[in-house]
Structure 1
Amino acid sequence: MPLLLEPLSRLIDAGGVVLVIIVAVSSALFAMVLERGLYWHFTHRRARREVIERWIARREHASWSALTLREVWTRELIARLRRPLPWLKLLVALCPLLGLLGTVTGMIHVFDSLALSDIGQARAMADGVARATLPTMAGMAVAVVGLLFTTRLEHVIRREDQRLHDRMARAVEDSHA
């Protein structure tokens, strides 16, 4: 196991403290994405089925109050799906900013190394450049992947909203047929 963690440890050492923060933010981001997948698979499907069954069990489906109730039920269900979206978007937006912070701190490290050492000491400068570029790259990579997940989740939620309305309407038609 230590052999697997050694390259990661060297990467984090080269990227500095900001890279550790980016790793923590990306861990939170992907934990939230995983949680949404588990919520969808285990909780949302059951809740959707219960809402549809409650709707079918109603005696009346065509009045304004019945349609309003259906809308309230579907909005509550979709709102539970949307709940973490603002946090996901925040974490996605935070990653490039943290990468930029890593660039700034890395460049400060480069200038400090140049000021404290001989002009010919390329190793100190290379360490500083790595400290400047690695967090930027990591922040952008996490942001792009997080943006893909967030966009996909928004698409799935919009599609689920439409399907839920369609299923409830179709369920009433099927129960009367």
Structure 2
Amino acid sequence: MQLYLMGLWETVRDFIATGGDVLYLVFAALLLMWIVMIERYWYLFGVFPKERDRIIKAWDERKDTTSWYAHKIREAWVSEVSTNLNARMLLLKTTIVICPMIGLLGTVTGMISVFEIMSVQGTGNPRLMASGISMATIPTMAGMVAALSGMFFVTRLDARIRREQDRLLDSLPHH
């Protein structure tokens, strides 16, 4: 097991060495994105059902569900739940958008490296140019993969949040 982990670490280290330091930024954005996404799924499936049940129970126990005051109370509860459900979703979506931009930063820095090598060595050493080109392409690929990995789950999370909001509204009838 330890040998496997050491081999895995070597692979990651080689990948970062090939792609340049910008990969650390891609990794940081990816880590933030997945921490927030796991927290949002935990809230949606762990905390929200208890909140929803508490609100539905409080609404069902009300004697007055038709007055203007009752409607305002209902709106306030739904608004509070909607705010909690959508918390940090903007951060999540922004992180997904930023990942390819960080990758493009790696492309620019890699191409600068290629041009520096060309200015010093000329175009006669393809091996030196290849390292700069890999530094230009690997961060772009990593940023795109990071963004795509989050996009799928955020789309599903967004749809689930909207569905839960609609269900809550349907569970609080106003006669």
* Unmatched tracts of structure 1, length 5 or more: none
Aligned length: 171
Q: Look up the match of 1:144.
A: 148
Which amino acid in 2 is paired with 1:51?
A: I
Alpha-carbon distance in 1 for matches of 2:68, 2:9: 61
Alpha-carbon distance in 2 for matches of 1:57, 1:117: 81
Which amino acid in 2 is paired with 1:8?
A: V
Decide which of 78, 97, 104 is 2:101's aligned counterpart: 97
Which amino acid in 2 is paired with 1:113?
A: I
Q: Look up the match of 1:49.
A: 53
Q: Look up the match of 2:127.
A: 123
Map 1:162-177; keep pairs closer than 5 Å: 162-169=166-173
Q: Deviations over 1:112-148 (max 9, x none)?
A: 1222225332111111111000111111121122222
Q: Kindly report structure 1 stretches of 4+ aligned residues shifted beyond 4 Å.
A: none
Q: Deviations over 1:80-102 (max 9, x none)?
A: 01010111111111111111111
Map 1:151-162; keep pairs closer than 5 Å: 151-162=155-166
CA RMSD of superposed structures (Å) = 1.5
Q: Look up the match of 2:26.
A: 22
Alpha-carbon distance in 1 for matches of 2:117, 2:30: 30
Q: Deviations over 1:4-49 (max 9, x none)?
A: 1111111111111111100110011011111111112221111111
Which amino acid in 1 is paired with 2:169?
A: H
Moved more, 35-44 or 125-134: 35-44
**TM-score (norm: length of structure 1):** 0.91
> Per the alignment, in what secondary structure is the counterpart of residue 119 of structure 1?
coil
Alpha-carbon distance in 1 for matches of 2:17, 2:76: 52
Alpha-carbon distance in 2 for matches of 1:59, 1:122: 81
Alpha-carbon distance in 2 for matches of 1:154, 1:42: 16
Alpha-carbon distance in 2 for matches of 1:126, 1:39: 46
Quote the offset at 1:68 in angstroms: 1.7
> Per the alignment, in what secondary structure is the counterpart of residue 40 of structure 1?
helix
The yes-or-no answer on 1:12 pairing with 2:26 is no
Quote the sequence identity (%). 38
**TM-score (norm: length of structure 2):** 0.92
* Unmatched tracts of structure 2, length 5 or more: none
Alpha-carbon distance in 2 for matches of 1:74, 1:93: 29
Alpha-carbon distance in 1 for matches of 2:122, 2:115: 12
